[in-house]
Amino acid sequence: MANVAVLGAGAVGLSTALCVQQGVPGVRVTVIADKFTVDTTSDGAAGIIAPMHDLVRTKTYEEIRKYIEDSFAWYDSLCKSAEGPEAGIQRISGYDLLPEREQLPLLRDILYQFRELTEKELDSFPDDVRYGWFYTTLMVECRRYLPWLMRRFRDNGGMLITKYINALNDIPCDYDVVVNCLGLGSREVFNDPETYPIRGHVLRVKAPWMKHFMRVARGPGTEAYVFPGQDNVVLGGTYEKNEYDTQNYKTEIFDQIVDRVAKYVPGMKYAPIERRWVGLRPCRSELRVEKESYNINGQTIKVVHNYGHGHQGILLSWGTALRATELVKECLSGGSHRQHTKSKL
């Protein structure tokens, strides 16, 4: 029986662990992480599958499209199943509002429907909205989805170990393959300077009357969005590069988010706040899904990397997990992989 360890228990880590379980016969999978479910960055994500121009960089457009298609197909299958509500997957429709006409976004054809707004619809919004789209997509609520993934993983015989991985030598060597889904932690553990954080702020409020989502493009890091979920409504957001602090931030940032949102949905001004959240999105110059070998504690260990998803972690997680599973199979079958012997240790 092959032994595989997955480092990290966010959406990418748990998706990868479950994919390896399902895709590799006779494998024993262990997830090693210092944080699980509500303590992970993924737990704070809004989780909407939206068309966009700023796709995470990959080697080819076909690669990123494949990841998104595979992820959407997975979420769609869950949404259509009896487990959809428990897994936190729902269909949702709403508006992207823009100050001027833009090129149509990539991957819009993957959604259930997509169209440009009519003049009558535009007239119902403030004067700075002059163009936009209406579409139907999926929302993945991680506060439900992560526990669902973990239950499915454990029901399949998966094991969990609580351990903080701070350096290469902290990685146990009694596994045939180690899958790195540490996200931002890869910067230190795997000495990757191309990895950096993007800090984000969101609120969750009580507003059960809100039925459609709304996203307003206002410039880098200052967009306003409203995403209604099963339990509450997500308001956001911010996009602050290379900011690490999640404790000593300016509290007025949340007031600014509410003010931006209330311009387009006035009722949000007085919606009761249930939770304020600050998290660090793990970004990278290019999404990394590849295999290497490392010398760890005198042993050669095969490593599959799967990290660098940025603010598109939910959008990409299942697709990259499928690709990481293919790489795990190659490692277990003796396929070639790049040697990595340099270490900061």
pLDDT tens digits along 151-193: 999 999 999 999 999 999 999 989 999 999 999 999 999 999 9
Contacts of 330 (CB under 8 A, 6+ apart): 291, 337
∠271-277-278 over CA atoms, to 5°? 140
Would the pTM count as exceeding 0.75?
yes
Give the count of domains, the chain. Answer: 1
Give a yes or no: residue 302 inside a domain.
yes
Three-state secondary-structure class, residue 318: helix
Query: Is position 24 within any domain?
Result: yes
Instruction: Identify whether 53 is part of a domain.
Output: yes
In a domain, 87, yes or no: yes
Residue 254, domain member (yes or no)? yes
Kindly report the average pLDDT of the chain as a whole number.
Answer: 92
Residue 110 placed within a domain: yes
Residues 217-232 have pLDDT tens digits of 765 556 899 999 998 9
Task: Please name the residue that has the structure tokens 């990959």.
Answer: 58
Helices (H) and strands (E) in the chain — how many of each? 8, 16
Indicate whether 345 belongs to any domain.
no
Residue-range definition of the domain harbouring residue 22: 2-340
* CATH code, domain carrying 154: 3.40.50.720
Residue 326 lies in a domain: yes
pLDDT in tens, the chain (345 residues): 899 999 999 999 999 999 999 999 999 999 999 988 877 877 788 889 988 777 889 989 999 999 999 999 999 999 999 999 999 999 999 999 999 999 998 889 999 999 999 999 999 999 999 999 999 999 999 999 999 999 999 999 999 999 999 999 999 989 999 999 999 999 999 999 999 999 999 999 999 999 999 999 765 556 899 999 998 999 998 888 999 888 877 889 999 999 999 999 999 999 999 999 999 999 999 999 999 999 988 899 999 999 999 989 999 999 999 999 999 999 999 755 455 543 333
Q: Which two tokens stand for residue 246?
A: 């999640």
